[in-house]
Chain A
Amino acid sequence: MRKLLLEHISEPGIETFDVYRKKGGYASVEKSLKTMTPDQVTEQVKASGLRGRGGAGFPAGMKWSFLDRKSDKPRYLVCNADESEPGTFKDRYLMEKIPHLLIEGMITSSYALGAKTSYIYIRGEYMYIVRILEKAIEEAYAAGFLGKNILGTEYSLDLYVHPGAGAYICGEETALLESLEGKRGNPRLKPPFPAIAGLYASPTVVNNVETIAAVVPIINLSGDEYAKIGLGKSTGTKLISASGHINKSGVYEIELGLPVEEFIYSDQYCGGVWKGRKLKAVVAGGSSVPILPAELILKTAKGEPRLMTYESLSDGGFISGTMLGSGGFIVMDETTSIVKNLYTFARFYHHESCGQCSPCREGTGWMEKILHRLHHGHGRKEDIDILVDVAKKIEGNTICPLGDAAAWPVASAIRHFRSEFEECVNNSMKVKELVH
């Protein structure tokens, strides 16, 4: 299967400028700066059909074309390397193993957007990667790919790495911008969108690490060629971080369109469920997306094979589908407690809510407390209905999507595994009867 991002990943020394360059690195910078106008680069990205790899899957070229190019303020490109969604570790792998791919993507993309200063905002827990990136940036400056008059052209760019203090919410693009400005990382009210008023109230594009890295093969191949890879509107390749109860966890680059079943069971990827056990459920795109039971992750409700594409995974909406999300693929075997897993997720969202808006601030804590009780055998009859209702009252009523991200796992786990929750309640009833 074709690899576009990780093709040279096992090349010794690929993290250094020299080896990366020898393997054809920085060709997209040469091609775009010397032979293309910024708008032509944007056109290629549009033609590629590339969709944002940070979770929402918004078409990257369209986002770029929204950037206010008439404003007299500077424009910024900000790379979102906050990667804090549980189950997601693909950006870390890419930045750690092949940092120059991101730097190259940043230069080419900044050129397309007319940004003269760009930032990589990275989560504070990735401190060792900050050092890797800074070293790579230093090498790129030394080789003339960053700084004044890159490759002797008119174009100049400065690139900075900015570590956050470690907060999931700073991955939400407007909270990220607040944090980058040195403020408390609270999401902003939209509109205005970053494309109009982002960093320092200037036009800004925020893209995920993988999105920006994918610009490199798009420019090298051409947008149309890239669009031929993948399936339908899910073009190109995607990094999937696979974890949980599988034989081979890790980061895989797949061509979009791969059947889910093949991804789980083929030796080329996850290598099947571990210990010879049966598959119970999958969280396909990071902790925020709805969980699906084995039968619905392998086949859609209509009985068609489920594919690794934006469209196929969301087939059936939230009733019987899920989302590709960030590509954090968490596999659970038959011994997994869905209640415990949900409690763990709920604890995470409660801990990470910024606390600005009441439904998320109060609702996430409430859900955690109920799930704690259920998991520890003190469930009450009304608990399940309260959980469903609290999740419903958070969803759609908050400032940023963290509220939805906290609500969806709850709603879907109860939808598909209600009996497990009921069992928790019944068992606790039995315990109470024994005590009395």
Chain B
Amino acid sequence: MAKVVIDGTEIEVADGITILNAARQLGGHSVPPAMCYYSTLKGSGGKCRVCLVKVAQGSAKDPRPMPKLVASCSTPVADGMVIQNLTSPEVLEARKGVVEFLLINHPLDCPICDQAGECDLQNLAYEHGVGKTRYEEERRKFEKIDIGDKIKLHMTRCILCYRCTMVANQLTDNRVHGVLNRGDASEISTYIEKAVDNDFSGNMIDVCPVGALTDKTFRFKSRVWFTKPMDAHRNCTKCSGKVVLWMKDNEVLRVSARKDQYGEVKEFICNECRYDHKSATDWTIEGPRHIDRHSVIAQNHYEKTDLLTLKKEIERQIEFQKGKPLPEPNRTLAE
């Protein structure tokens, strides 16, 4: 076991776990945000840099501070380590910078994005960003492409967390999907537009933190906060069959895997459960899903926070945009 101090609170955790997971055991405000790390995907993390923290003391044996901020998702704890997250102005400043970097090339098309309301980037920006942008340059754009008949890739919104490519590599047996090109021209792609077609490919929708990968069977059916998430299950031979049904009245608009409070799916679901059972009678409904993530869909939560303003703002923008030409030519509302 290792004793570590995070933002002044001491906690004992198993040796070798990451700072992020130690903070998650502690819970509360000291948990750094994470946009690329995903505990169920091997090799994930280290890329987005929003989880940077300060290690003020390396360990009991070597108390020197680490010279740079470190990615908490991929740095293991050591006994006697002292970690600063919210208590370090340096961390907050760097994180603000990272959020700004993630947003400068993002289209900010929340009003027409299916992910709005359950988007990790939206939530991150509200909690850790600054109100206005200093970026006045042209934003990068990509054409939308289909990855098979069920998934739409909207590369312009991608934050290159690499999670979806890990789904392809780790949940399925063929490596059909990866990253092309370099730098800010990088793009998620399949091998010469080949369809990603296997029983678990739909999970890449759930691991995507933003609206870059969306479920075509749900696209533009409803804003997510107008749907009611219900825990449900069925007997499935391919997966656990434990899902969330996103319902409007008695209609199942979407089926997704269950995410925990950090937005992570612990039990991936198969494509049959996701796409082929869109009738409520296919499922045993357990009851309303409690969503305790900090997001617009967390009904228990948003009344108390400024996220209510976010919801209102998005709805206002939708009203505003109805019937009006959209900011980018390759997008239409009616699609």
Report whether A354 and B134 are in contact in the complex, using a CB–CB cutoff of 8 Å: no
CB contacts (< 8 Å) of A361 on chain B: these are 101, 160, 183-184, 186
Stretch at the interface among B47-55, B211-219, B228-236, B293-301: B47-55
Complex Cα gap A364–B104 (Å): 12
CB contacts (< 8 Å) of B74 on chain A: these are 189
Complex Cα gap A370–B138 (Å): 11
| Interface presence of A356 (CB below 8 A) | yes
Q: Which residue in chain B gives the minimum CB-CB distance to A393?
A: B97
CB contacts (< 8 Å) of B314 on chain A: these are none
| Interface presence of B179 (CB below 8 A) | yes
Complex Cα gap A422–B45 (Å): 40
Report whether A396 and B101 are in contact in the complex, using a CB–CB cutoff of 8 Å: no
Complex Cα gap A399–B52 (Å): 11
Report whether B49 and A357 are in contact in the complex, using a CB–CB cutoff of 8 Å: yes
CB contacts (< 8 Å) of B97 on chain A: these are 359, 392-393, 397
Complex Cα gap A189–B162 (Å): 14
Complex Cα gap A358–B318 (Å): 29
Tell me the chain B residues, 83-141 only, with Cβ under 8 Å from chain A. Answer: 93-94, 97-98, 100-102, 104-105, 134-135, 137-138, 140
Q: How far is the CB of B247 from chain A (nearest CB, A)?
A: 36
Report whether B179 and A184 are in contact in the complex, using a CB–CB cutoff of 8 Å: yes
CB contacts (< 8 Å) of A274 on chain B: these are none
Report whether A358 and B48 are in contact in the complex, using a CB–CB cutoff of 8 Å: yes
Q: Which residue in chain A gives the minimum CB-CB distance to B136?
A: A380
Q: Which residue in chain B gives the minimum CB-CB distance to A184?
A: B179
Contacts known (A364-B183, A397-B69); A369 close to B101, Cβ less than 8 A:
no
CB contacts (< 8 Å) of B209 on chain A: these are none
CB contacts (< 8 Å) of A167 on chain B: these are 182
Complex Cα gap A104–B162 (Å): 42
Complex Cα gap A369–B98 (Å): 18
Q: Which residue in chain B gives the minimum CB-CB distance to A167?
A: B182
Contacts known (A365-B184, A396-B69); A358 close to B159, Cβ less than 8 A:
yes
Interface string of A340-353 (1 = CB under 8 A from B): 00000000001111
Complex Cα gap A67–B12 (Å): 33
CB contacts (< 8 Å) of A39 on chain B: these are none
| Interface presence of B46 (CB below 8 A) | yes
CB contacts (< 8 Å) of A352 on chain B: these are 182-183
* 8 Å CB contact of A359 from B98, B162, B181, B186: B98
CB contacts (< 8 Å) of B93 on chain A: these are 393
| Interface presence of A363 (CB below 8 A) | yes
Q: How far is the CB of B213 from chain A (nearest CB, A)?
A: 18
| Interface presence of B178 (CB below 8 A) | yes
Residue from the set B52, B93, B98, B181 with the largest chain A CB neighbour count within 10 Å: B98
Contacts known (A358-B159, A397-B69, A397-B97); A365 close to B183, Cβ less than 8 A:
yes
Complex Cα gap A293–B179 (Å): 41
Contacts known (A351-B183, A365-B184); A398 close to B49, Cβ less than 8 A:
yes
| Interface presence of A72 (CB below 8 A) | no
Complex Cα gap A372–B68 (Å): 30
Report whether B184 and A355 are in contact in the complex, using a CB–CB cutoff of 8 Å: yes
| Interface presence of B185 (CB below 8 A) | yes
Q: Which residue in chain B gives the minimum CB-CB distance to A186?
A: B179
Report whether B46 and A353 are in contact in the complex, using a CB–CB cutoff of 8 Å: no
Q: Which residue in chain B gives the minimum CB-CB distance to A360?
A: B183
Interface string of A376-387 (1 = CB under 8 A from B): 000000100010
Complex Cα gap A169–B181 (Å): 13
Interface string of B231-266 (1 = CB under 8 A from A): 000000000000000000000000000000000000
Q: How far is the CB of A364 from chain B (nearest CB, A)?
A: 7
Report whether B183 and A354 are in contact in the complex, using a CB–CB cutoff of 8 Å: yes
CB contacts (< 8 Å) of A396 on chain B: these are 68-69
Closest 5 CB pairs of A and B: A393-B97, A355-B186, A362-B101, A353-B183, A369-B137
Q: List, sorted by A's number, 25 A–B pairs whose CB atoms are closer than 8 Å.
A: A167-B182, A352-B182, A352-B183, A353-B183, A355-B184, A356-B160, A357-B49, A358-B49, A358-B101, A358-B160, A359-B97, A361-B186, A362-B102, A362-B184, A363-B101, A365-B183, A365-B184, A382-B134, A393-B93, A393-B97, A393-B98, A396-B68, A397-B49, A397-B98, A398-B49
Given contacts A167-B182, A184-B179, A355-B183, 5 further A-B pairs with CB under 8 A are: A189-B45, A351-B183, A356-B162, A358-B47, A362-B102
